Structure 1
Amino acid sequence: MVYGCGSVGLRIASAAKAAGLETSVGGRNPAKVAEAAAGLGVPWRSAPLDNPAGLASLLRGVQVLVNAAGPMAVTAPALIGACLRGGCHYVDISNELTVFLRAWPLDRAAKRAGITVVPGAGFATAVVEGVAHRVLRKVPDAGAVTIVRSSPGGNRSGGVRRTSSELLAAGGWSVEAGQLIRTPDSIRVFELPEGPRAGVPIGSGEVFAVARATGVPDVAAYYTSRLGPVLSRLAVPLARHWARTGFRLPSAPGRAPAEHGGPADPGGPGREPSRVWVQASNSRGAVAEGWAEAAGTETTAAIAVEAVRRLESGGTAGVLTSGALLGPGAALAVPGIRHGG
């Protein structure tokens, strides 16, 4: 079952059905879920997140739940809890640090329930894991990994705007000496394949996932700003404050208003591809770099469907990163992904 009927949820459900998987859709809004199910030609169920009995009914007979309803800091805890109670595998496409931090302490409970919990089975986290493993082959004793993500242009769905706002409000977080710590708003300039870009520190799920999956003691992530370094240093603290207070900026000049109600949509037809650049370095000055880009929505759907396939054939109980479930190179083998380095 795919929970969430925004743009990414519909893409995942469509891809799952096309792959021959027995597919249904679910969500919070019965009218919206019914409309989506009719368009896909699949069964549907609806239950609000604050109704445990309703969620139990929603998951009855479901082997794997894919959560595509954002913001996942809100939806994931209730759905993971329902999956633990119902013995249903859980997958989501989150890149929110909060989701990973809440999921990881549930490892023992997941093992007792005999289920696998996989946060981050989408472009944002799975592909970054793949690129990180690739560059670490060149610097196996790396002490630091740096991740830089470029934002796609064009319209953004309501879900991705809410998710981006939560990431911005959370401030920067990094892993240093194996410990998760707050990062000051230190803007860095990176020489990327597309040219120099200002990078804003963020606290995203990929920081946690890469640190867990690789054992590298220092991991940091940045999101590129379309402003220069000077303007970014001035704008970021104010933007974080606005995000924390729930203030919503109007669409930028020349940008159409976002659609409403969709989950995180990191790219799509007619948009710039989502891009990620990863660097590994060691104490002796050795450096290796790699990159990947793709239409995030298509990639996310393909990765989520592959995760479902693996779990339907029997997964390892516990809480896993997507790379641990799929294998470190699997995400980079998804059709449509370009990568190098």
Structure 2
Amino acid sequence: MQNQLLLYGANGYTGKLIAKLAATYNLQPILAGRTEANIKPLAAELQLPYRIIDLDNKEQLENALSAVKLVLHAAGPYVYTAKQMIEACLQTGVHYIDINGDISVFEMLKKYDAAAKEKSIMVMPGAGFDVVPTDCIALQLKNKMPDATHLKLAFASIGGGLSHGTATTMTGKIGEGGAARENGMIVRKPLGQKGMWVNFGTKKLFVMTIPWGDISTAYTTTGIPNIETYTGMAPKVYRILKLQWAFNWLLRTEFVRNIIRKKIKAKPAGPSDEQRKNSSSLVWGEATNPSGEKLTACISCLDGYSLTAHSSLLISKKILDGNFKTGYQTPSGCYGENLIMEVPGSKII
């Protein structure tokens, strides 16, 4: 699949992982980003072509896209970058996927459904760890319990760490609180409003509510009207986070966020190869119907970054092979509940 894929944000931590793994999926992406000094060395190392593109330069962006069939957008925070890219994709008739996890971005991109269908292209945000594993669990539970009215999804990372990009995106959300889906509507909630212990099959872990992308996507996939999303958290840290609401006004200030951003830049770009190799993820879901019956499902999979590289390339390959649905799609909504099992390292617990 030579040069039919444009990987934008190839110089980021996850972008580099995707670029280096692409050959495994018989893909030769065009590497793209804003700064030549960051993109050119990677392109030389991998012997791949590259383009320097400013997302705010509409003509330059559309010119680059006109040469490909698909964009894998790996440059966040997507709240600042997704709109320019999706609109350029619509102008040029190019498929769009990304590795976004922001609820508001999912909801924004969903509004392009009709326009994407008109152009016969697919729009699929969330082609990485957020939200492929949880989306597949959600659909699996819905298929087994069609009358489910409540859905809980949780994940926990065993080992690993955060990349600069993920940490920067999270910094932009500090002080903003959480979210849940209630009666079909997205409702703002305090971050960590609820906490509970979850049996992930291999171990019991404490989790707390967070505004994960499935608040948007699991509803699109399943139609289940009440959804909560959780992540693993040490109980001691959870008790501290419960007090965050009192300081949200301070955490939202640019002064505090800039201090945090400087600390992020001083740290390594992300987990080392060894850290990722020794890390894994656990994903759990629980569906409940009006009778109070409950159904659970659990899988283990790769660490979030490695999984993102694999799943985004797997989906890219499917699209370039002609396996796609037009319009706005979710991963399991398009490719079924077993999509996650096509990603190396995934197994049912």
Same fold (TM over 0.5): yes
Task: Give the Cα–Cα distance (whole angstroms) in 1 for the partners of residues 161 and 215 of structure 2.
Answer: 26
Counterparts in 2 of 1:257-276, with a 5 A limit?
A: 258-260=267-269, 269-270=276-277, 272-276=279-283
Q: Which amino acid aligns with 1:130?
A: C
Question: Match of 1:292?
Answer: 299
**TM alignment of 1:190-269, pairs within 5 A:** 190-193=197-200, 194-199=203-208, 201-228=209-236, 229-234=238-243, 236-237=244-245, 240-241=248-249, 243-246=251-254, 247-248=256-257, 258-260=267-269, 269=276
Separation in 1, partners of 2:93, 2:344? 32
Aligned-pair CA distance for 1:243 = 4.7
Taking the aligned partners of 2:162 and 2:247, their CA distance within structure 1 comes to 18
Find the counterpart in structure 1 of residue 325 from structure 2: 316
Equivalent position SS for 1:58: helix
Deviation at 1:13, TM superposition (A): 2.0
Alignment partner of 1:3 is 2:11: no
Gap regions ≥5 residues in structure 1: none
TM-fit CA distance, 1:37: 0.9
Q: Are the counterparts in 2 of residues 144 and 281 from structure 1 also a CA contact under 8 Å?
A: yes
Residues 22-67 of structure 1, C-alpha deviation per residue, up to 9 Å, x if partnerless? Answer: 3211011121011111111100001112110111122131111101
Q: Of 308, 311, 326, which residue of structure 2 is paired with 1:303?
A: 311
Equivalent-residue separation in structure 2 for 1:107 and 1:184 (angstroms): 30
SS of equivalent residue, structure 1 residue 301 = helix
8 Å Cα contact 1:139/1:286 also seen in 2: no
What does 1:86-101 correspond to in 2, within 5 Å? 86-101=92-107
Q: What is the percent sequence identity of the aligned residues?
A: 28
Letter in 2 for 1:187: K
Number of the residue aligned with 1:326:
335
Residues 25-44 of structure 1 aligned to structure 2 (within 5 Å):
25-44=31-50
Change (3 A) 1:329 1:176: same
1:165-192 deviation per Cα after TM superposition (whole angstroms, max 9, x unaligned): 3444442111111111112442322233
Deviation at 1:312, TM superposition (A): 1.4
| Deviation readout 1:203-234 (Å, 9 max, x if unpaired) | 22221111110111111112333243533312
Q: Is the 8 A contact 1:168 1:202 kept in 2?
A: no
- The TM-score normalised by the length of structure 1 is 0.88
TM-score (norm 2): 0.86
Higher deviation after alignment, 110-119 or 220-229: 220-229
Equivalent position SS for 1:83: helix
Q: Which runs of 5+ in 2 are unaligned?
A: 1-5
Number of residues of Structure 1 aligned to a counterpart in Structure 2: 332
- Residue 88 of structure 1: CA displacement? 0.8
**8 Å contact kept, 1:307–1:325:** no
Structure 1 residues 80 and 181 mapped into 2: Cα distance closer, same or farther (>3 Å)?
same
Question: CA contact under 8 A between 1:108 and 1:318: conserved in structure 2?
Answer: yes
- Given candidates 114, 120, 130, the residue that maps to 1:114 is 120
Write the distance in 1 (CA, Å) between the matches of 2:246 and 2:35.
34
**Contact (CA 8 Å) 1:3, 1:66: kept in 2 or not?**
yes
Q: For 1:122 and 1:335, locate their aligned partners in 2 and report how far apart those are by CA, in whole Å.
A: 13
Corresponding residue SS for 2:64: helix
